[in-house]
Amino acid sequence: MLDLAVFASGNGTNLQAIIDAIKSGILNAEIKLVISNNPDAYALKRAEIQKIPTKIVSKEMFENREDFVNALIGILKAHSVSFIALAGYIKKIPHEIVGIYKNRIVNIHPALLPSFGGKGMYGMRVHQAVIEAGCKVTGVTVHIVDDEYDHGPIVAQECVPVLHNDTPEALAERVHKVEHRIYPRVLQLFSLGLIRIDGRKVTILEERVNNRT
């Protein structure tokens, strides 16, 4: 069972996919709270509808970085969070928190990392760049969060074809569909203890999944 915090800055369709997966029994987790840097994030509304606690926390609300980091750590502890899922969170996770939650923070990225990632590569910019580069495939990556943007060990990837005359919006929609399917599934693998991380190498102990299902 994962005691989750979901960090989201925007619409929160991935948050919704996680909520739905928990409700339908696909994912054995509880969302302890949703944290956003953006008071206008629709993700917060989605959480409120489900009566999931929310917190708006951004660096600008604090006098200095230390206070910000301590506040975040305090909130995570107060809600007994054991695992963090970033779902469209555009800020960097402070390295103190990366340390405390080592290998227990994941992110979902709308491309096949290590391509089309890094600072500033989020949302429609990613899909625009993929199309401009003439790629025939893009995809979804779920990875462990470390101290660099979109850099930690890769847990899961799935390809999505780039179609002739694709617009960033059309491509984003198809990528999102894949995200909503694979993110809850990857979280469930963590919940079952089926992910082994050794340096940059991540092994999914699939056989044990098969034995249990």
Q: Is 46 in the site for ligand GRF (CB under 6 A)?
A: no
Among 81, 179, 187, 188, binds ligand GRF (CB under 6 A): 179
Among 5, 6, 14, 46, the residue binding ligand GRF under the rule CB under 6 A is 14
Distance CA 102, CA 95 (A): 10
Report how many residues bind ligand GRF under the rule CB under 6 A: 14
d(CA 116, CA 133): 10
Q: Which helix (H) or strand (E) holds 207?
A: helix 206-212
**Which of 83, 109, 116, 182 forms a contact with ligand GRF (CB under 6 A)?**
109
Q: Where are the beta strands (DSSP E) in the chain?
A: 2-7, 29-36, 54-56, 83-86, 105-109, 137-144, 154-161, 195-198, 201-204
Q: Which of 12, 94, 152, 184 binds ligand GRF (CB under 6 A)?
A: 12
- The tokens describing 156, both together, are 């899961």
Minimum distance between the CB of residue 211 and ligand GRF, rounded to whole angstroms?
31
Q: Is 180 a catalytic residue?
A: no
List 79, 95, 109, 143, catalytic entry: 109
Helices (H), 29-167: 42-49, 65-78, 95-100, 124-132
| Sites of contact with ligand GRF (CB under 6 A) | 8, 10-14, 87-88, 108-110, 122, 176, 179
- What residues are labeled active site? 109
